[in-house]
Structure 1
Amino acid sequence: MFMSLYNFNAILKIAQERNFKAIGSFNLHCIEMLPAFFKAAQQSHSPLMIQISTGTAEYLGYRLLVDAVRSLAESENVPTCLHLDHCSDISAIETAMDAGFTSVMYDGSHLDLEENIGNTRIVVEMARPRNITVEGELGAIGGSEDGKAVAAEDICFTTVEDAKRFVEETRVDMLAVSVGTVHGLYTGKAQIQHQRLKEVSAATGVPLVLHGGTGVSDEDMRLAVTEGINKVNVGTEMNVQWVDRCKTTFGKRQSERQRTQIFNSGE
């Protein structure tokens, strides 16, 4: 039976029905990562949320990604959501929607509040008739994501007042918040502002998104989930593990010439 891809609201509902309080959203950097994503979802009896950066989508192709993810979701019987991550180009978001992505993020966090609200609302209005969910972002999260960097001095934490207004005026399905995490590799422990997180959650009433999940401790992550986080982004860890494992495997199998033998080695 043909399986459609799910939007974020539907995939979160499935996760919660299976006693998961939040869903991980994992960055796909290359097609070879896909089988491992689905295998892990099957083993944990979890629905799957895969997110794609604009750079990866343009490199691999929006339609190819949709077809590949949908095909595996159907064959492996895993409820799956395909999400476009951190995109500030509305035309690229429309391309993703047309291709079949079921969730998108408009990132206007670099803009002033008025312009961020206006642009995000445009995306929401494009998405609603297609049953596509929209993630917005308020506040500047530090670190580097898809070639875009935010310096420490430019980090801007999400305020309760702005978050409430943003959600009310845009009607986003979920909100990415800046509460102390950083994109990329950590040099120390993430310092999540738990009180701020609780207050933003209470004021907005929408699922909150934690970006920069790689460097957050298990204890902090569990606490953040009780405080309103329903989606946790993990990207750097995926990339680091993939590159390190490739280096190790290729080093051990330098004489191997069959790609399938290398990638299916189980090492």
Structure 2
Amino acid sequence: MMENLNTLFNKYDNKKAIGSFNVHCLEMLPSMLLGAKEIESPIIIQTSLGTAKYIGFDLLVSTMDTLANRYQIDACLHLDHCTDMNAVKEAVDAGYTSVMYDGSSLTLEENISNTREIVEYAHKRNVSVEGEVGSIGGAEDGLIIDEEQAKYTDIDEAIRFVEETQVDALAVAIGTTHGQFKSKAKINYELLSSLSENLDKVGLVLHGGTGVSDEDMRKCVREGMKKINVGSELNKSYIELVNETFPPALDAPLTSLRKLLNPANDKIKEIVKEKSLLFQL
């Protein structure tokens, strides 16, 4: 069934971090939840604002609700990295069970003020809220933050942010980067340990999992990460499989488009299973 982050964090505490997978088109969605079902794992499906507008808030909510009930798994629908407060509220009203307001590019005071407003709005509707302190580098859905702009999360700022906003989850910058395919992430474990020790009442979130080795990922989970985002790898893998299946079809009669998409959907399912198992304690 559809749950918010708090419910999932409490239910699976000391068992695993929960994989949060970016869906880019509706065709991906059934395979993602089926993958979670096959290993009896909870799953968070997250969308960028661009994807939500492309598919539709209402269609995403109704489809997620149908699939979560079909497979009888714990699932959450989460809006990722949204800087538009009105759009965040629209997602809440549409039935998303979790949202992220990203005010990390603002001053700390502005970030706290805006995030607190979102928390008050969302909590009245039993919707969890993720915030961000620090800046996670890389590119995601058109948002580009270069290495000079990216900065580690400041522990004192994070403590103040959580206390004054009452967010349920916090995205922290510890050295990971969105879409980092060409190099290995250099994670600041001392910072992660300090964040985990001082912010034990909030779910820490790892963004930019691409480029993080399996060994480092397991260590991040052991050190207290509760939610792990997976996005770029899904998008890249889907495109690669579609590129393999579509060109040959141009030289032969096309009987059904779904036959061309099935290999890509199967790959997405396997990634969901592989990552969800990796995130177990």
The answer, yes or no, to whether TM exceeds 0.5 is yes
| Aligned partner of residue 79 in structure 2, secondary structure | strand
Of 236, 243, 250, the residue aligned with 1:247 is 243
Deviation, structure 1 residue 226: 1.4
**Number of residues of Structure 1 aligned to a counterpart in Structure 2:** 262
| Counterpart check, 1:7 vs 2:4 | yes
Q: Is residue 84 of structure 1 aligned with residue 84 of structure 2?
A: no
Q: Distance in 1 between matches of 2:249 and 2:9?
A: 41
Q: How does 1:143-222 map to 2 (within 5 A)?
A: 143-205=138-200, 206-222=202-218
Q: Shift of residue 75 of structure 1?
A: 1.2
Q: Are 2:9 and 2:203, in contact at CA under 8 Å, matched by a contact in 1?
A: no
Deviations 1:202-228 (A, max 9, x none): 112221000001221011111111112
Confirm whether residue 54 of structure 1 aligns to residue 49 of structure 2: yes
Structure 2 regions of 5+ residues with no counterpart? 268-281
Look up the equivalent residue of 2:231 and give its one-letter code: G
Deviations 1:34-65 (A, max 9, x none): 12101210121101110000011011110011
Counterpart in the other structure of 1:232: 228
Higher RCO (CA-CA < 8 Å; seq separation 6+):
2
Q: Percent identity, please.
A: 50
CA displacement at 1:253 relative to structure 2: 3.2
Contact 1:138/1:158 (CA < 8 Å) preserved in 2?
A: yes
* Counterpart code for 1:7: N
115 and 183 in structure 1: CA distance in 2 versus 1, 3 angstrom threshold: same
Distance in 2, Cα, partners of 1:86 & 1:109: 10
The one-letter code sitting in structure 2 at the alignment partner of 1:236 is: S
- Tell me, in whole angstroms, the C-alpha distance in 2 between the residues paired with 1:213 and 1:179: 11
SS in 2 for 1:86: strand
Amino acid at match of 2:5: F
Normalised by the length of structure 2, the TM-score is 0.90
C-alpha distance in structure 1 between counterparts of 2:58 and 2:233, whole Å: 26
TM-score (norm 1): 0.94
Greater shift in the superposed pair: 73-82 or 116-125: 73-82
Structure 1 unaligned blocks of 5 or more: none
Instruction: Determine the structure 1 residue equivalent to 2:261.
Output: 263
Q: CA RMSD in A?
A: 1.4
Counterpart contact for 1:137–1:177, Cα < 8 Å: yes
